[in-house]
């Protein structure tokens, strides 16, 4: 009885093993799988779609906190990059200004200190720049642009900042001459960003548009720096000298980058 | 017989549910071993609580369930062979039956 039982078990086991060996090593395996996949396909597809959407929903709940943190981190990162981008942009602008100055050859003629305008007081014809005693800026140092045009001179020097008195300030007067002609005059600030040219010899014929440059007389400004151009020449019989207005070569309202001449 | 047919249908749906629905939750708890493990647990529950120790339908159910696992699982420990899970689950059901018949006695309520 017991032997019959074990005989049955062994026979069934061998038969089943033989069945699976045949199944696995013949095309029957693929056909069997294909049959079960075919009958289950529509149900599996529905379950798959349902599982996909449900898992997305569950994941969004569980990952909500993580997403918020990530969002916060990304916002901080964006702020950092924006600020970095702005400073790079400023550096680029500075670089362009310095490049222009190099093209003009300013560095060969003078010892310069690059400065940026931090505040403007157009009513008092003065501006504040970001260079001071720390940068070897001294009182009365001339201030020019990268195109070698005159802006003014240092009126006050602080530790990190300096006040530039514009050439249009009513307290400023300096010697000038007309470019390519040996005709001297005196440029005087009139305030409100205006300049006049005085003491021009009566007998000289002066035309509008002639360029006015600095001279070495007085020793305040280096010679040959462009101040502006002549306009509205006035000549009268009762006055021994001619006068004119000077249209500044630089728009003082648009100033951003300057050079302080520390040595000339 | 009705019980065994319902059970076969149940295990068929259970395996489909696991391989098509629950696999999407792999980032929480579902992995390659979850499907056979859950199936085996349900099989053990069936054998222990829904079938008398002297009945043998559970063994056929285990073989068929193992066959379904073989069909719907890609491989087992790197082996892609129809019959692996049939063997595992059949041996498991035999063992449970053996333990239940030899060592477990149910007391009849008076």
Q: Which domains does chain A have, with CATH numbers?
A: 2-62 (no CATH), 106-263 (2.40.10.350)
**CA distance to A75, A249, B11, B27, per residue, from A70 (Å):** 9, 53, 42, 19
Which element (helix H / strand E) includes A214? strand A211-214
The answer, for B82 touching chain A at a CB cutoff of 8 Å, is: yes
Cα B84 versus chain centre, distance: 13
pLDDT value at B78 more than 60:
yes
Residue pairs spanning A and B at CB distance below 8 A = 53
pLDDT value at A72 more than 80:
yes
Which element (helix H / strand E) includes A213? strand A211-214
The CA distance from B28 to A56, in Å, is 12
The CA distance from A28 to A18, in Å, is 13
- What residues are paired with A178 via a beta bridge? A212
Q: Which of A168, A170, A166 is nearest to A155 (CA)?
A: A166
pLDDT value at A174 more than 80:
yes
pLDDT in tens, A109-144: 778 888 888 887 766 788 888 888 888 888 889 999
ipTM of the complex: 0.79
- What residues are paired with A243 via a beta bridge? A234
pLDDT of residue A107: 67
The answer, for A15 touching chain B at a CB cutoff of 8 Å, is: no
- The reply to whether residue A52 touches residue B71, judged by beta carbons under 8 angstroms, is no
CB A197 within 8 A of CB A186: yes
Q: Is the pTM of this model over 0.80?
A: no
Dihedral pair phi/psi, residue B79, rounded to 5°: -105, 120
Q: Which of A134, A106, A90 is nearest to A224 (CA)?
A: A106
Best of B76, B82, B101 to disrupt the A interface (most A CBs within 10 Å) is: B82
Best of B8, B20, B74 to disrupt the A interface (most A CBs within 10 Å) is: B20
Q: How would DSSP label each residue in A123-161?
A: TTTEEEES--GGGT--TT-EEE-TTSBEEEEEEEE-SS-
Query: Average pLDDT for residues A72-92, to the nearest whole number?
Result: 88
Predicted confidence band of residue A152 (pLDDT cuts 50, 70, 90): very high
Nearest to A50 among B21, B68, B83 (CB): B21
């Amino acid at each position: 009885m017991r032997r019959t039982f074990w005989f049955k078990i062994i026979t069934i086991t061998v038969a089943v093993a033989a069945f699976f060996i045949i199944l696995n090593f013949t095309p029957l395996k693929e056909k069997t799988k294909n049959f079960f996949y075919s009958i289950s396909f529509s149900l599996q597809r529905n379950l798959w779609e349902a599982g996909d959407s449900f898992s997305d929903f569950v994941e969004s709940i569980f990952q909500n906190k993580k997403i918020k943190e990530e969002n916060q981190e990304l916002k901080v990162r964006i702020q950092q990059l924006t600020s970095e981008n702005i400073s790079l942009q400023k550096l680029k602008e500075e670089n362009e200004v310095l490049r222009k100055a190099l093209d003009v050859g300013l560095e060969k003629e003078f010892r310069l200190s690059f400065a940026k305008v931090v505040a403007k007081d157009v009513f008092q014809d003065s501006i504040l720049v970001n260079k001071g005693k720390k940068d070897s800026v001294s009182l009365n140092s001339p201030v020019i642009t990268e195109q070698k045009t005159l802006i003014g001179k240092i009126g006050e020097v602080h530790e990190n900042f300096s006040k530039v008195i514009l050439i249009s300030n009513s307290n400023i007067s300096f010697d000038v001459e007309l470019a390519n002609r040996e005709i001297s005059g005196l440029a005087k600030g009139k305030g409100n960003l205006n300049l006049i040219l005085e003491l021009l010899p009566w007998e000289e014929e002066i035309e509008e548009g002639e360029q006015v440059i600095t001279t070495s007389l007085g020793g305040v400004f280096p010679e040959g720096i462009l101040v502006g151009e002549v306009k509205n020449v006035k000549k009268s019989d009762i006055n021994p000298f001619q006068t004119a207005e000077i249209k500044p070569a630089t728009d003082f309202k648009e100033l951003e980058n300057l050079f302080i001449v520390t040595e000339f | 017989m009705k019980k065994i047919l319902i059970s076969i249908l149940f295990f068929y749906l259970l395996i489909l549910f696991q391989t098509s629905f629950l696999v999407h939750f792999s980032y929480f708890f579902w992995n390659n071993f979850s499907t056979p493990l859950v199936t085996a647990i349900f099989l053990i529950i069936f054998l222990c609580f829904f079938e008398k120790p002297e009945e043998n339908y559970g063994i056929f159910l285990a073989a068929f369930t193992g066959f379904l696992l073989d069909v719907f699982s890609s491989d087992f420990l790197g082996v892609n062979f129809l019959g692996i899970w049939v063997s595992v689950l059949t041996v498991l059901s035999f063992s449970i039956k053996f333990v239940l018949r030899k060592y477990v006695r149910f007391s009849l309520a008076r």
